[in-house]
């Protein structure tokens, strides 16, 4: 069973996201949703709340956390494995949050970051 997140919301409709304790739990729910609603969802670990959420497959941009770079708030930045992943994420954020982001190569590790102009 899933619970509704108190911290994370769907950026498109403002509804709370379902949160799961484990990837297994999220995967079970994803396969149920696939059967019932014919939606393809993939689990991802949320960097905000630490639980798992589900996200439509075409939104997934594989990323890890950079060990070296922090943002203005002192949080470690998302590190994208490829430039195209970073660009894809920048496009999603531009559409949903109306922010313009630039892609740049991490100076310390093998990956890409986004930065505000």
Which residues are 16's β-sheet partners? 9
Rg (Cα) of the chain, in Å, rounded? 15
One character per residue 50-69, x = contact with Zn ion (rule: CB under 5 A)? ----------------x-xx
Size of the site for Zn ion (CB under 5 A): 8
Phi/psi at 9 (nearest 5 deg)? -125, 150
Residue 27 contacts Zn ion per CB under 5 A: no
- Report residue 41 as tokens: 């969802």
Residue 46 contacts Zn ion per CB under 5 A: yes
Which single residue brings its beta carbon nearest to Zn ion? 46
- Quote the least distance from Cβ 47 to Zn ion, whole Å: 8
Residue 48 contacts Zn ion per CB under 5 A: yes
- Cα(22)–Cα(109) distance, integer angstroms: 29
Which residues are 5's β-sheet partners? none
User: Site residues (CB under 5 A) for Zn ion?
Assistant: 8, 46, 48-49, 66, 68-69, 106
């Amino acid at each position: 069973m899933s619970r509704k997140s108190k911290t994370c919301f769907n950026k498109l409709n403002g509804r709370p996201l379902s949160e799961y304790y484990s990837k297994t739990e999220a995967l079970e729910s994803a396969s149920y949703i696939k059967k019932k609603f014919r939606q393809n969802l993939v689990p991802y670990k949320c960097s905000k709340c630490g639980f798992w959420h589900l996200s439509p497959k075409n939104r997934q941009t594989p990323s890890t956390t950079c060990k070296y770079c922090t943002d203005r708030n002192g949080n470690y930045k998302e590190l994208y494995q490829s430039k195209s992943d970073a660009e894809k994420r920048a496009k999603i954020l531009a559409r949903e949050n109306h922010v313009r982001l630039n892609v740049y190569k991490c100076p310390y590790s093998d990956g890409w970051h986004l930065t505000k102009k």
